[in-house]
Amino acid sequence: MSPIHQVQFHTSFPDTSAAIDRRIPEFAPAHISDEDKYFRNHEPPAYLPEIEKEIEQFIQFHKENTNRRIVLVTSGGTTVPLENNTVRFIDNFSAGTRGATSAEYFLENGYAVIFLHREYSLLPYSRHYSHSTNCFLDFMTENNGKIEINSKYTEEMLLVLRKYNQAQANNTLLLIPFTTVNQYLYTLKSAAEKMHVLGSTALFYLAAAVSDFFIPKSRLSEHKIQSSATVDGQLQINLSQVPKFLSRLVDNWAQGAMFVSFKLETDSNILIQKATTALERYHHQLVIGNLLQTRKNEVVFVTPNDSHWIKLTEDEIKDHIEIESRMIPEVIKHHSEWITQHPN
Ligand code: 9Z3
């Protein structure tokens, strides 16, 4: 099987060609949902049709050739531009570690992965090297005029390289970038609608940190905000709530698939309650709760019937065991049960 060539998209440049259209009503007519209103009043990224083609080909390839289950992993934080010609933006915290690491364990367990990630955040496999030294050249050494990998890294790098090459050869990893929350929402919707054909064998693993607030396009300043726009030296920015898209995803875009969302809190007293509320609101299957402070060492799986923790022991933490190596087999167990209960 020859790997399908993946097109490289760049999402981090502001869309300077899209002049702001003040005719768009800030409050759309009644009777349409907030989600519909959002898509009516915000334009899709110009590259979206090409990405849709890539996703469709990927799904088709696995349907026809491998019959693998497909998981869409979202990873990294979304930005909220403050200006149309964006100089300033609000960002959401996430390095992309959870998403990139989880994607590797899904691949190891036989899944094909659509990796919807914040451009330039951590990626599966390269994550082991891209941020762990000041410069990638630190992994290299010179030997008689030739470049070699420093011997202290070779053993581990060979293992990573083999897994990476296997993913390439099997065409099991599709990288799709986003930067802004608008790009994220449109791409998620498109990907989900394409994955609809997979029914219960599709899995959504939503680890990205998605902004809850944004500035609607109708209120976005076209050019860089000037200091003269301040009142008494204070800049006032009004943010609106990003519509809750999870219910659309579960009920419409990819109905029948299994959905795992993440709940991030900083206060341990409210974590399980917030996860339970999310399950009740969106009627999906699993919420994984984590606290900012301890997210690498413990998570809580919350389902409609049960909640239980996965915690690394002190020794496991010392041995650099990744918590995703425990989480993903358990998520897959839930997915297998889901497929059995909901055969296509
Ligand atoms: C998470 O909770 C992720 O586990 C982290 C991973 C963002 C904490 P890192 O990339 O961090 O490893 O540095 N993701 C979901 C965060 C989020 O925005 N959740 C929303 C919420 O809590 C629901 S979609 O309300």
Q: Domains along the chain?
A: 34-226+235-341 (3.40.50.10300)
Distance 122 CA to ligand 1 centre (A): 14
Q: Is 127 in the pocket of ligand 1 (CB under 6 A)?
A: no
Strand 286-291, strand 258-265: pairing: parallel
pLDDT value of residue 30: 44
Q: Is 211 in the pocket of ligand 1 (CB under 6 A)?
A: no
Distance 27 CA to ligand 1 centre (A): 30
Nearest Cα to 261, choosing from 300, 205, 304?
205
Distance CA 113, CA 107 (A): 7
Amino acid identity, position 96: G
pLDDT value of residue 29: 42
Distance 212 CA to ligand 1 centre (A): 12
Q: Is 263 in the pocket of ligand 1 (CB under 6 A)?
A: yes
pLDDT tens, per residue, the chain with 344 residues: 555 667 788 888 776 655 555 455 544 444 468 888 999 999 999 999 999 999 999 999 999 999 999 999 999 999 999 999 999 999 999 999 999 999 999 999 999 999 999 999 999 999 999 988 889 999 999 999 999 999 999 999 999 999 999 999 999 999 999 999 999 999 999 999 999 999 999 999 999 999 999 999 999 988 998 888 788 889 889 999 999 899 999 999 999 999 999 999 999 999 999 999 999 999 999 999 999 999 999 999 999 999 999 999 999 999 999 999 999 999 999 999 999 999 99
Q: Is 101 in the pocket of ligand 1 (CB under 6 A)?
A: no
pLDDT value of residue 10: 82
pLDDT value of residue 151: 95
- Sequence-distant (≥ 6) Cβ neighbours of residue 291 within 8 angstroms: 264, 265, 266, 267, 268, 271, 298
Distance CA 56, CA 70 (A): 12
In testing the pocket of ligand 1, which one of 91, 92, 94 has its CB within 8 Å of the most ligand atoms? 94
- Sequence-distant (≥ 6) Cβ neighbours of residue 72 within 8 angstroms: 113, 114, 116, 188, 191, 192, 195, 202, 203, 204, 205
Nearest Cα to 211, choosing from 81, 35, 18, 309?
81
Distance CA 191, CA 210 (A): 17
Distance 94 CA to ligand 1 centre (A): 7
Q: Whose CA is nearest to atom 16 of ligand 1?
A: 209
Q: Is 295 in the pocket of ligand 1 (CB under 6 A)?
A: yes
Q: Where are the alpha helices (DSSP H) in 134-237?
A: 151-169, 181-195
Q: With contact defined as beta carbons under 8 Å apart, do 264 and 272 qualify?
A: no
Rounded to two decimals, the ipTM of the complex is: 0.95
pLDDT value of residue 32: 65
